[in-house]
Structures are given as C-alpha cells and as structure tokens.
Amino acid sequence: MRYGRAPEVLNNINFQLMPGSFHFVTGASGAGKSSLLKMIYLAHRASRGRVSLFGRDISTVPGRDLPFLRRRIGVVFQEFRLLDHLSAFDNVALPLRIAGKKANDYRQDVAELLRWVGLGERMQAEPPTLSGGEKQRLAIARAVINRPDVLLADEPTGNVDPAMSLRILRLFVELNRMGTTILIASHDEDLVANSGRPVLHLDSGRLIALGDAQGNLHGEAG
C-alpha cells in the first residue's frame, strides 16, 4: 500500500485473521499500523496484492457493495470522529439508527453500554464538553454497540488511565467471546501484556514476526 507516488508504507505483508480471533498489532510510530487498519476497513485499497474480507476478494467487489461490508466492521479511530452536535447517547445510538432500528428497541442497550464505559452520568453531554479520555470511551462504545463481526481499534487506550485501560480490555475480551474478531493497534505495552493475546509486529511497513503478548517472537512472518 502506498499514498500517491510515495514509497510503499506496507510491503509484502501476508497474514490471515481467523473468525473469532483476537490479535494486537505493534510497532514504532510510522511502522504502518494505522495504514494496515485503514486497508482492512476499506478506507484505502491495496496498491498491489490481494485482500480478502469475509470470504470476498475486495478488488472484485462492486463499489455499491462496499457499504454493506463496512457495516460489519466496527472502528475505533485515534481522532474519535464524534459528532459534536449530538449527545453522547445519540453518538452511540447513531449506527443503530442508520441500520433502521427504533429507539425503543435500543435505548436500554445504549444506556447500559455507556454506564459500562464509565459515562453513565454523561449521557446527555456533547463531545466538546468531554475530556479526551471520555471521548475515547465514547468512541469505543459507538464502535461496539451493534456487535460487529470485526472490531478494529487504533490506539484505543491512548487517552485513558491504566484502570480504565483494563476495563476497556475486558470489554474487548467479552466481545471476542461473543464471536467478534478483534485487531488492536497499540503502543500500550501493559495492555498488550495483560491481554495474553498474539501479536503482529510491524517494522517499516513489513510484518517481520508473530509473537506472544510478552514480546517473544516466533519466527519471521510471511
């Protein structure tokens, strides 16, 4: 994958995430973690090679079908991408409203999830009035409210304290137990270590090794 005529930011990467798996992707800043996530959630197409998602070769999927694939993916962005004119409750409920669900059917689920991420007292607050950590938790709640098949998270604990990091990890673990495939890009060494989950390690755009949560590498990746 490359941007314009610049050198490739991802090069000769080959791996497969099995349904229901849970992986972290690590690497220094500029290693290509965010670009890898963007390619998976279809924000960018591969410059060369093949990407398969839900059993379909993305290069052959008609553009009109891409929104349906994207709806099966939840994304936690580094920059949050919240709607400032909507309350915390309405930001989380938005994916359900877009899917055509009625408020009476989702009101309790949204409120319960907001309480779980520590925003039970801030449901009617708008994003500009929230702290960075509160915005992060709100973005996570919005990404997981419809129980996506795949959840991608880009530095999801970058603005929260260690206690909340572990709480967020428990939420991801519970989603994974219900069948969601999870891939988290993170610099948070403690979060990765506490997860006990396998790690994909990127270095300068290449997937150089697969390892465990303690950083022990298990050979070169394809």
Examine the domain organization and report whether 63 and 11 are in the same domain: yes
**Predicted local distance difference test score (pLDDT) of residue 149:** 94
- Report residue 98 as tokens: 């877009």
Residue 163 maps to which CATH number? 3.40.50.300
- What's the structural domain count of the chain? 2
Examine the domain organization and report whether 54 and 103 are in the same domain: no
Domain limit, last residue, from 103, 124, 147? 147
The interaxial angle of helices 132-144 and 103-116, nearest 10 deg, is: 140
Examine the domain organization and report whether 94 and 159 are in the same domain: no
Examine the domain organization and report whether 115 and 55 are in the same domain: no
Torsion of the alpha carbons at 161, 165, 171 and 175, rounded to the nearest 10: 140
Of 220, 214, 222, residue with least CA distance to 24: 214
Examine the domain organization and report whether 1 and 68 are in the same domain: yes
Check if the beta carbon of residue 122 is closer than 8 Å to that of residue 77: no
Domain limit, last residue, from 121, 147, 173? 147
Q: Strand 22-26: give its sheet, edge to edge.
A: 73-76, 150-154, 181-185, 22-26, 199-203, 206-211, 217-220
Examine the domain organization and report whether 19 and 118 are in the same domain: no
Question: What predicted TM-score, i.e. pTM, was given to this entire model?
Answer: 0.85
Residue 54 pLDDT exceeds 60: yes
Which range scores top for mean pLDDT: 164-168, 180-184, 200-204?
180-184
**Predicted local distance difference test score (pLDDT) of residue 19:** 93
Q: What is the pLDDT of residues 144-174, one digit of tens each?
A: 998 899 999 999 887 778 888 888 888 889 8
Examine the domain organization and report whether 126 and 194 are in the same domain: no
Identify the domain containing residue 44 by its residue range.
1-72+148-222
Task: Give the chain's radius of gyration (CA, Å).
Answer: 18
Domain limit, last residue, from 127, 147, 167? 147
Band of the pLDDT at 220, cuts 50, 70, 90? very low
Examine the domain organization and report whether 6 and 67 are in the same domain: yes
**For the chain, where are the alpha helices, taking DSSP H only?**
33-40, 66-70, 88-98, 103-116, 132-144, 162-177, 189-195
**In the chain, % of residues over pLDDT 90:** 50
